[in-house]
Structure formats: C-alpha cells, structure tokens
A and B are shown apart, each in its own frame.
Chain A
Amino acid sequence: MSAVQTALSEFASTVPDRIWLALFVLLVGLVLAYLVGVVNRRLLRRAGVPEVIEGTAFERTAREFDTSTVRILAQLSSYFIVAVAVIVALTVADVNYLEQFWSGVAAFLPRLFVAAVVLIVGVVVGDKAELLVAERLRGIKLPELGVLPTLVNYSVVYVAALIALGQVGVQTLALIVLLAAYAFAVVLFAALATKDLVASAAAGVFLLLRQPYGIGDEVRVAGERGVVQEVDLFVTHIETDGEEHVLPNHAVFREGIVLIRE
C-alpha cells in the first residue's frame, strides 16, 4: 500500500507545476464553457428568441438536424471559451513548438467567433424580415410584389456576410462598392416614389394639429369648392353635389385654403 503511495507522490513530483496549472486552467475553462452555454441558452429563451424566429428557414433547417438556432448559438459560445482555455493552457504549459502558429490562432479566434455569430444572426434576421414583409403584402394580391420579400432577405444576408468577411480579414472593398451602389439606388428610388406622399404627410401633420378647417366647413381648396368630409394624414375629402374630390394635402398647402363664410 505504502509502496503505491510513494510511487504516486514520486510521479506527482516529477510532473512540473506548470502542467498542473495548465490542467487546472483547462478544467476551469471547460466548466466555464458549460456554464456560459447554459446561461446563454436560458437568456436567449427568456428573451423570447425562439418565438420570434419561429418558422424562418434557418430555424427549420436547424430543426431538421435535431437542434435549434438557440442551441447552436449557445454551443458556439461554449466552443469559443473551450478554444481560448486550450490556448491559455498550452501557453501556461509552455509548449514551445508551433508557438508562432498558436499566437496566430489566438488572435484569429475571436474574430472567427464574431464572424460566425454575425452570419447566423444575419441569416435568421433576413429570414424573419422576409416573413414579415411577405405577411404584410399578403393582403395585396399582386404577383409582381412576390420578389420584394426575397430581396429584403438577400439584402440583410448580404450585409451580414459583408460584416463577417470583414471580421475574418477578407478584402471586401468591391463588395462594399456594390452595396453602396445598391443602397443609393434604393434610396433614390424610394425618394422619387414617395416624394408626394412625404410632402402630403408633412402638410397633413400641420392640418391635423392646427385644424385651419374641420369636418363640415365649406372651403375652396386647389380650385375645388365644397364641404370638408374627412381630413387624414395624406388626403382631404371635399364634397360638392354628388362629387367627392380627394385632394393630396401638399396641394392643399401649396395652393392655400379659402374658408367660405356666408
């Protein structure tokens, strides 16, 4: 019995302290990774993430592989901590060979982690945005609008991929130029298309706040005389005998209002 004990203590004393410390660091890292994974999963669940991303393509694919987006994210954070722990342990243990390689990996690892997370979040958000837009457009039965949700999805995924690639240090200048051109086109198109609507809404806010005329007043606006039937954010309804004029509010504002009193 005592022979075994002395052999053990001799073995323990031959192993350098550094190795023990490294093993300890590794152990702490593993425990920490597990805890962070569990806490992450709970936090994401508590934040209602599974309900929000329900039905997105990514979540469905994850389900097919018998996992879920939340679990993948939680596992990713665990793996990251394990990897860091391994590197720290190796450094503490002073493993000399391949030092160059490990320092490179240590610098690269957090960026890879962030890139992976950004990519997953981007894909999920893109899917969700596609679903939301498709739902909003479902009332309008216009087949041409079917491309819009897909476009929204790809735009979000494209930006996420761009960020991820930037994180891992790939040259993305050409892609950014492409994105800028695309964003410029979208902004220009939106501005041209909604110019009158925005102007009307701005005038409508004034009309609703100050109420220069109200429902029931007789007015002449933009050449049309009649009784005001309705004022909303974008248009004013003015009715004369059997005719209802729907005037955009920016026209009301530009041409002025004549209140008719008898």
Chain B
Amino acid sequence: MKLHSVLRLAGLLAAAACLTLAYGMVGDWLILLSIPVMIIFWFLARGRSGFRAASGLLAMYVGLGVIGIARHASGLLMATGCVFALLSWDLSDPRGRSSVQARPGQATLLEKRHLQSLGVAAGASLLLAALASALRLTLPFGVVVLLALVLTACILYAVQYLRRSAGHEHRE
C-alpha cells in the first residue's frame, strides 16, 4: 500500500518533470502554468472520485503532450512523460489493490503481479517509444490516413468483441 503511494507520487513527479523539460527545451515556459491548474483541478476533483480525477488529469496531460509536439517539443520526452503519467494513473485505481481484509499472502500476490505487469508495460512502452522516435519513415498522407483508419477499426472491433464476449459470459 505504501509502495503504491510512493510509486504513484514518483510517477507524477517524473511526468511533470518530463513535461517541464520538453517545454523548456523549446522555450515555451508559459504553458507550464497549466501544471498549477492541473494541481488545483486534482484537489477540487479528488473529493468526488479519486480515480475519475486521475483520469481527467491523464487526459489533460495527453492533451498537453499533443500541444507540445505540435510546438516541436521532443516526442520521446513527451512519450516518457505519458508512461509515467499512465503509471501514476493506474496506481490510483483501487482495482489494482487488494482489500484491507484480504489474507496477507493473497494481498501481496495481487500487488506483486500488478507492479510486475506495470513494470513490463512501462519498460516495453519506453523501449518502443525510443525505437519509434529513432525510426524515420516518410509515408504519403493517404497511406497514413488508411493506416490510421485500419488501426481505429481494429481497436473498435476489438472493443466490441470483448464487450460481446463479456456479455455472453455474464449471461452464462
């Protein structure tokens, strides 16, 4: 439980540092005013639902990342910041933590598996982001649109399929 809180805070700080650094490198300091805005938002929204507030914060962070990239900030730094923001967001979700009354062994196992999976996801994401930023592919716009449409369709299909199968299992 304590480790979760420490990691969540560390993730938040790292994400904020990445954002600051990326914007600082292009000399766009004014946008950093959004960080106190995000903190105020967090304090105002966490009273209702901590996880929803964290989701709002993550969406805002991604939005800032997109604006940063549009202003020629480093994509790799922004992606790294997104990894830490995602890590912090996931750790704020109670679904990843065991209940207070769970047996110690079982509780540790859930948290261990959760942190392991999170570590794998973060590591793979950083590696893929680094690889992707190193690769320079130039594709025609039409191909990019087509690829994006195919990818969106794949995601939507996967989501629908998972929803349908979950519904079937629930009925059974």
Q: Do A and B bind each other?
A: no
Using a CB–CB distance below 8 Å, which chain A residues touch chain B? none
Query: Chain B residues in contact with chain A, CB under 8 A?
Result: none
